[in-house]
Amino acid sequence: MAEGEEKPKSTLDSLDALLGIEPELEEKPTPRAPPTPPAVPPPSPVVKPLETSDVAALDISDKVLSSVVYLLPLLDGLRYSKFLLAQYPQFALLLAPLQPLIQFYYGLGFLNIGFFFAIYLGVSRNQSLSRYIRFNASQAVVLDILLILPDVVNAMFTGINGPPTGGPMLELKILFNNTAFFFVYFSACYGALACLAGKEPRLPLVSEAADRQSGGGMR
């Protein structure tokens, strides 16, 4: 075919012209953009808690003061031990080292409530002290406040005719009082010994409320 001559139209081209159909332009492939890698969120800052085993981070005064505050619920919980000590007098040997303190505390009568406010206001709410001390003081205070519940239940046992003198009601009252005493006794002992070891005691029914009061324990 000579240069400059038009290329003959095919039958399909002629049919498209008769029907008024515009010839389709040849589409050129559109280059694809490289896939965008998924956005990776920046790593969130990791707050490393203070290791509870790191006793070097705690001063000896912090440990001693944190353990002493647990004497408050222990002393207040002794009033629920009368049935236990009557049945097992040998158990009193565990309390023998605290006998002078027990006599002094209960000798104050109603004035011993001053120890509660001294620990609550002077230790638990004292922002100048470490969080560790404030946390343990808050635990001791909350544990002491929980002793209101046994008082309420004992009042229910008393009723109109006075305290029960026998039968299932007396057995139930003895069981309840012994349970309340053991819970407070072992919680206070565990808290005091853990503080002396530089650990963070987490007491059931107590630690979450103590966290809110003190702003956290060792963390």
Q: Which of the four pLDDT bands, split at 50, 70 and 90, describes residue 47?
A: very low
Residue 81: inside a domain: yes
Q: Mean pLDDT across the chain, nearest whole number?
A: 78
Residue 149: inside a domain: yes
Residue 136: inside a domain: yes
CA atoms within 13 A on the CB side of 198: 11
pLDDT at residue 164, rounded to an integer: 67
Identify the domain containing residue 146 by its residue range: 55-214
Q: Which of the four pLDDT bands, split at 50, 70 and 90, describes residue 2?
A: very low
Side chain identity at residue 122, one-letter code: G
Q: Which of the four pLDDT bands, split at 50, 70 and 90, describes residue 14?
A: low
* 66-111 per-position pLDDT tens digit: 999 999 999 999 999 988 988 888 888 888 888 999 999 999 988 8
The set of residues, in sequence order, having a beta carbon less than 8 Å from that of 173 and lying 6+ positions away, is 83, 154, 157, 163, 164
Helices (H) and strands (E) in the chain, counts: 10, 0
Residue 182: inside a domain: yes
**Cα gap 100→157, rounded to integer Å:** 32
Residue 198: inside a domain: yes
pLDDT at residue 50, rounded to an integer: 40
Q: With beta carbons less than 8 A apart as the criterion, state whether 202 and 190 touch.
A: no
Residue 24: inside a domain: no
Q: With beta carbons less than 8 A apart as the criterion, state whether 129 and 201 touch.
A: no
Residue 32: inside a domain: no
The model carries a pTM of: 0.69
Based on the number of CB atoms within 10 Å of its own CB, is 213 exposed (0-12), middle (13-18) or buried (19 or more)? middle
How far is the CA of 30 from the CAs of 24, 33, 37, 100, 110, in angstroms? 17, 9, 21, 93, 90
Average pLDDT of span 178-183? 92
Residue 26: inside a domain: no
**How many structural domains compose the chain?**
1
Average pLDDT of span 22-26? 47
